[in-house]
């Protein structure tokens, strides 16, 4: 199992620091039961997801404690589904994000890319008639995930234009993540801007 207990709840800067310390060697092999069992985890990129549910509207009905408990309860939820892992990270609109599973091991989030991509969930329902990803809490949530993705790109020397994928690109899963209101170019712009901030590059 690749779950961690407890899950980690970190603010943006602490998340960057955490990711900057991820080892680049001695990753773990995939467990039995996967189509790539025994292969060493060797991440080459990251997949961007959104939750759909909870939407931001639902999120806002929850108390701070309920929001925290939601993140803490995700790993048991995935275990009950029979998964050996889940998405590695999740961005939220509240100024902090989660590390959900072992960053030195494969995750379960995108059947086309579980073998060698990190998975990053984003709180929000970014579809027509849902949450707006470009303003307010929607933007905050997107920026939280962009912070995670940017930090991964910096740590592993990835070009976001080629290393960042979107779950909707996996035709086997038929998911719309991260939502039809999120364009690839705009989302990658958030990542690129955050990479520059992390590196201290003048804008």
Instruction: Using the predicted structure, report yes or no on whether residue 1 has a pLDDT greater than 80.
Output: no
2-9 mean pLDDT: 92
What does the DSSP assignment read for the chain?
--EEEEEEEEEHHHHHHHHHT--SSSPPBPPTTSTTTTPBP---EEEE---SSS-HHHHHHS-HHHHHHHHHTHHHHHHHTT-S---SEEE-TTSEEEEEE-TTS--SS-TTTTTTEEEEEESS--STTS--TTSHHHHHHHHHHHHHHHHHHHHHT--HHHHEEEGGG-TTTT--TT-TT--HHHHHHHHHHHHHHHHT---
Write out pLDDT tens, residues 96-122: 999 999 999 999 999 999 999 999 999
Domain 12-27+38-199 class in CATH = alpha beta
- List the one residue out of 90, 98, 84 whose CA is nearest residue 48: 90
d(CA 160, CA 74): 27
pTM over 0.85: yes
Write out pLDDT tens, residues 131-181: 999 999 999 999 999 999 999 999 999 999 999 999 999 999 999 999 999
- List the one residue out of 144, 179, 149 whose CA is nearest residue 51: 179
d(CA 12, CA 147): 7
Instruction: Using the predicted structure, report yes or no on whether residue 35 has a pLDDT greater than 80.
Output: yes
Tokens of 69: 């408990």
**Structural domain boundaries in the chain:** 12-27+38-199
Q: What percent of the chain has pLDDT over 70?
A: 99
72-98 mean pLDDT: 94
pLDDT at 5: 86
Instruction: Using the predicted structure, report yes or no on whether residue 77 has a pLDDT greater than 60.
Output: yes
């Amino acid at each position: 199992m690749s779950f961690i207990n407890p899950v980690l709840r970190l603010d943006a800067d602490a998340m960057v620091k955490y990711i900057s310390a991820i080892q680049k060697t001695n990753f773990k092999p995939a467990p039995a039961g996967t189509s790539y069992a025994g292969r060493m985890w060797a991440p080459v990129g990251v997949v961007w997801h959104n939750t759909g549910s909870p939407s931001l509207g639902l999120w806002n009905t929850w108390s701070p404690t309920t929001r925290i408990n939601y993140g803490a309860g995700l790993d048991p939820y995935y275990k009950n589904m029979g998964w050996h892992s889940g998405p590695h990270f999740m961005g939220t609109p509240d100024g902090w994000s989660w590390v959900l599973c072992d960053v030195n091991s494969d995750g379960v989030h995108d059947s086309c890319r579980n073998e060698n991509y990190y998975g990053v969930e984003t709180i929000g329902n970014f579809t027509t008639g849902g949450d707006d990803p470009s303003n307010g809490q929607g933007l905050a949530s997107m920026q939280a995930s962009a912070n995670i993705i940017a930090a991964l790109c910096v740590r592993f020397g990835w070009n976001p234009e080629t290393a960042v994928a979107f779950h909707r690109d996996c035709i086997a899963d038929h998911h719309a993540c991260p939502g039809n209101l999120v364009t690839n170019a705009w989302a990658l712009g958030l990542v690129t801007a955050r990479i520059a901030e992390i590196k201290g590059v003048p804008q």
